[in-house]
Chains A and B, each alone.
Chain A
Amino acid sequence: MSERLIVSRDGSPLEDSQIDANFSDMHPPLNKTQAKVESSRCLYCFDAPCIRACPTSIDIPKFIHQIRTQNLTGSAITILSSNIMGGTCARVCPTEILCEGECVLNATGEKPIKIGNLQRYAVDQYLEGNNPHPFNRAKSTGRRIAVIGAGPAGLACAHRSAVQGNKVTVFENKAKPGGLNEYGLAAYKMADDFARKEVDFLLKVGGITIKHGQVLGENLTLANLQSEYDAVFIGTGLGDVNNLRVEGEHLNGVQDAVTFIEELRQTAEKHNISVADNVVVIGGGNTAIDAAVQAKRLGAQNVTLVYRRGTDQMPATEWEQDLVKTNNVNVIYWSKPIVLKGGEKVEEVTFERCILKDGILTGTGNFFNLRADLVLKAIGQMLDKNPLAGLSIENRKIRVDEKYQTNLQGVFAGGDCINSGEDLTVQAVEDGRKAAESMHDYLENKNG
Chain B
Amino acid sequence: MADLKCKIAGIESINPFWLASAPPTDKKLNVVRAFEAGWGGVVWKTMGYDPPVINVTSRYGALHDSNRGVIGINNIELITDRPLEVNLQEIREVREEWPDRVIIGSMMAPMMEKLWKDLAVKIAEAGVHGIELNLGCPHGMCERGMGSAIGQVPEMVENATRWVREAVDIPVFTKLTPNITDILLPAEAAKAGGADAVSLINTVNSIAGVDLDIMAPLPSVDGKGTHGGYCGAAVKPIALHMVGDIARNPDTRNLEISAIGGIGNWRDAAEFIALGASGVQVCTAAMLYGFRIVEDMIDGLSRFMDEKGYKAISDFQGLAVPNTVDWNDLNMNFDLKAEINKDLCIECGRCHIACEDTSHQAITKKAKADGGMEYEVVNDDCVGCNLCLHVCPVLDCITMKPVDNGLPHLTWPEHPENPIRVAKKEK
B66 touching A39, Cβ below 8 Å: yes
For window 8-64 of A, CB contacts with B under 8 Å fall at 36-37, 39-41, 43-49, 52
**A68 to B65 alpha-carbon distance, docked (Å):** 10
Residues of B within 8 A of A41 (CB): 67
Query: Does B66 contact A104, Cβ atoms closer than 8 Å?
Result: no
Whether a CB of chain B sits under 8 angstroms from the CB of A108 is yes
Interface band, chain B: 10 to 19
Contact check, A43 vs B66: say whether CB atoms are below 8 A apart.
Answer: no
Cβ–Cβ contact A46 & B372, under 8 A: no
Is the CB–CB distance between A36 and B68 below 8 Å?
yes
- Whether A104 pairs with B346 at a CB distance below 8 angstroms is yes
Q: How many angstroms from the CA of A59 to the CA of B34 in the assembled complex?
A: 50
B contact residues around A43 at 8 Å (CB):
348, 350, 393
A49-B66 contact, Cβ under 8 Å, with A43-B393, A108-B394: no
Instruction: Tell me the complex Cα distance, A45–B393, Å.
Output: 10
Complex CA gap A107/B345 in Å reads 8
Q: Do B349 and A36 have beta carbons less than 8 Å apart?
A: no
Given contacts A36-B66, A36-B68, A37-B67, contact A49 B393 (CB under 8 A): no
Out of A40, A47, A48, A108, name the residue touching B67 (CB < 8 Å).
A40
Q: How many pairs of A and B residues are in contact by the CB < 8 Å rule? A: 43
Nearest A residue (CB) for B373: A47
A-contacting residues, B319-350, CB 8 Å: 346-350
A105 close to B (CB within 8 Å): yes
Of chain A, the residue at the smallest CB distance from B69 is A40
Please name all residues of chain A whose beta carbon is closer than 8 Å to the beta carbon of B353 when the two chains form the complex.
46-47
In angstroms, Cα B392 to Cα A44, docked, is 11
Say whether A48 contacts B68, CB under 8 Å. Answer: no
Asked if B349 contacts A47 (CB within 8 A), the reply is yes
In the bound complex, CA of A104 to CA of B351 (Å): 14
Given the complex of chains A and B, what is the CA–CA distance between A136 and B359 in angstroms?
39
User: From residue B361, how far is it (CB to closest CB) to chain A in Å?
Assistant: 14
Query: Within 8 Å CB of B350, what residues of A?
Result: 43-46
CB contact between B347 and one of A36, A39, A44, A49 (< 8 Å): that residue: A49
For residue B349, which residue of chain A has the nearest CB?
A46
- The B interface is mostly helix, strand or loop, or mixed, namely loop
Q: Give per-residue flags for A356-396: 1 if the beta carbon is below 8 A from chain B beta carbons, else 0.
A: 00000000000000000000000000000000000000000
Minimum C-beta distance from A169 to chain B (A)? 41
User: Which A residues touch B394, using CB under 8 A?
Assistant: 108
* Interface hub of B66, B347, B348, B394 (most chain A Cβ within 10 A): B348
The docked-state distance in angstroms from the alpha carbon of A49 to that of B374 is 12
Given A43-B393, A49-B372: A107 in contact with B347 (beta carbons within 8 A): yes
Q: Is B365 an interface residue (CB 8 A)?
A: yes
Contacts of B372 in A (CB 8 A): 49
Report the nearest B residue to A37, measured CB to CB.
Answer: B67
Complex contacts, A45 vs chain B, CB 8 Å: 347-350
CA–CA, A68 and B66, complex, Å: 7
When C-beta atoms are compared, the residue in chain B nearest to A107 turns out to be B346
- A48 pairs with B349, CB closer than 8 A: yes
B352 at the interface (CB under 8 A from A): yes
Distance between Cα atoms of A108 and B395 in the complex (Å): 10
User: Which residues of A are found within 8 Å of B371, using beta-carbon distances?
Assistant: 52
Other-chain residue from B66, B349, B393 in contact with A40 (beta carbon distance below 8 A): B66
Residue of B nearest to A68 (CB): B66
Query: Known interface pairs A39-B66, A43-B393, A47-B365. Does A108 touch B349 (Cβ–Cβ under 8 Å)?
Result: no
Give complex CA distance A49, B371 in Å: 9
Output the nearest chain A residue to B345 by Cβ-Cβ distance.
A107
Bound-complex Cα distance A316 to B192 (A): 80
Which residues 69-106 of B sit at the A interface, judged by CB distance below 8 A? Answer: none
Q: Complex: how many Å from CA A46 to CA B348? A: 6
A36 touching B365, Cβ below 8 Å: no
Contact with B along A278-296 (1 / 0, CB 8 A): 0000000000000000000
CB distance from B374 to the nearest CB of A (A): 12
Known A36-B68, A39-B66: A108·B373 in contact at CB below 8 Å: no
Give complex CA distance A40, B67 in Å. 6
The 3 lowest CB-CB distance pairs between A and B, nearest first, are A46-B349, A46-B353, A40-B67
Interface, chain A (partner B; CB < 8 A): 36-37, 39-41, 43-49, 52, 68, 104-105, 107-108
Interface positions of B (Cβ within 8 A of A): 65-68, 346-350, 352-353, 365, 371-373, 393-394
